Structure 1
Amino acid sequence: MTAPGPNINGEVPTVLVRDDEGRDLLCFLEQLIPLDDKDYALLTPVDTPVSLFRLSEGNDPELIETIASSEPILSVADVVLQEHDLTLVRSAVTLTVNGELDEPDPEELEDEETDDDSETYELLVSFMVQEQEYGLYIPLDPFFVVARMTDGQAKLVEGEEFDQVQPRIEVELEDREL
């Protein structure tokens, strides 16, 4: 099967992917990759993915990898984003932001001196919670999600299955580029 790409109307198909906790993430279908009689989908979120970092003066931002969707920090982030007409969505796989975001100026990004973390992220908003500063950052690298397609439904590929298929998907994508 080949890449779906835009349809006749120029629209890229969308797929709703679900994780084990029942959370959904609406994604664009970028590629379909058949492996072992299963179809795997390479997806990109429709809304803008964001990452939460703990900020402290003099130190690099610290990525918070797991956070409960009921965490008070996210409630404060909700309020701050609403001031910018944005909405924080507690999606499958990642937090996302819904709303109109300003596109980063590529020249501005090239001119900035960057650390390892700031090379791959751009600060969207920062805020304080109980005397601790946090920031929501937008990844500058493409954010891909892998799902297994079964009867038109997308199931998030996680854990061991992801570890097994991810290198094979990368090889398949490299072969397609040649």
Structure 2
Amino acid sequence: MSSFQYNQESDPEDIDSVTLTDEDGRTLECYVENAIEGDDGTYLLLMPVDIPIVVLVWDEEDQDVEDDSEEITNAVLLEDKIEIEAIFPDAKAVLAELDLTLKLTAFTLTVVGELPPIEDDGILTLELETDGPALDSEELQFLKDFYHQDQKYSIYTPLSPLLFLAKYNLLGKVELVSPEDEEMQAILEELLFDDME
């Protein structure tokens, strides 16, 4: 289970940020975007302080296809921790060319720095598989391509904020909760709705 530490000791509603720590000991600093009281504790909507990025790995057939082509269909989101660690030095080096510093953080890779301007031809819509029959999609901004051992990788940043749902329970512990859980759907909607007001 993930562990969390508040950066200050106070009432959960007064807290500005928390540090998430994964099972590998990596940390991720997050802003507390919103908090609501529940029967069993305080629910928190968290957003990383640094800019989240994702790495896509391309099928060999698509490696030579231009980014603005409609033929790109075989990109897969890289989630394997061992492979992420293997390509990390190369990814860090190419992002440094954009004056971005790549960090190996908990739950997502992040960068520090100023992102380049968004260009229409640099936006990719990634189809995400869901439990239902429909596909969810996410728009990503292209940052950089690179190769590692003859395999093409592309680095993108999501255009929508990356949010985490967590619970600060009555025992004083904070844990991630799944937004897919039916009971959490109403809580997540309330946190998001309150955050937009």
TM-score scaled to structure 2, two decimals? 0.67
Do the aligned residues in 2 keep the contact of 1:77 with 1:127 (CA within 8 Å)?
yes
Partner of 2:77: 63
Distance in structure 2 (CA, Å) of the matches to 1:113 and 1:146: 27
Question: Structure 2 counterpart of 1:63, which letter?
Answer: L
Residue number in structure 2 paired with 1:142? 161
Letter in 2 for 1:59: I
The residue that corresponds to 1:92 in the other structure is 106
The answer as to whether partners of 1:17 and 1:156 remain within 8 angstroms in 2 is no
**What does the per-residue CA deviation read over 1:78-104, in whole Å, with 9 as the maximum and x for residues that have no partner?**
111122222111111111111222342
In structure 2, the CA distance between the partners of 1:174 and 1:148, relative to structure 1 (3 Å rule), is closer
Provide the identity percentage. Answer: 33
Q: 2:34 — aligned with what?
A: 31
CA distance in 2, matches of 1:162, 1:154: 21
* Equivalent residue number for residue 186 of structure 2: 168
Q: Which amino acid aligns with 2:95?
A: L
CA RMSD across the alignment: 3.5
Task: Kindly tell me the number of residue pairs found equivalent between the two proteins.
Answer: 165
- Quote the Cα distance in structure 1 between the aligned partners of 2:116 and 2:122: 18
Moved more, 71-80 or 54-63: 54-63
The aligned amino acid for 1:27 is: C
Q: Is the 8 A contact 2:78 2:84 kept in 1?
A: no
> Within 2, Cα distance between the matches of 1:129 and 1:156?
35
TM (normalized to structure 1)? 0.73
Counterpart AA for 2:166: A
Q: Name the CA shift for 1:77/1:157 in 2 (closer, same or farther; >3 Å).
A: same
1:44 paired residue among 44, 47, 52 = 47
What amino acid is aligned across from residue 140 of structure 2 in structure 1? Y
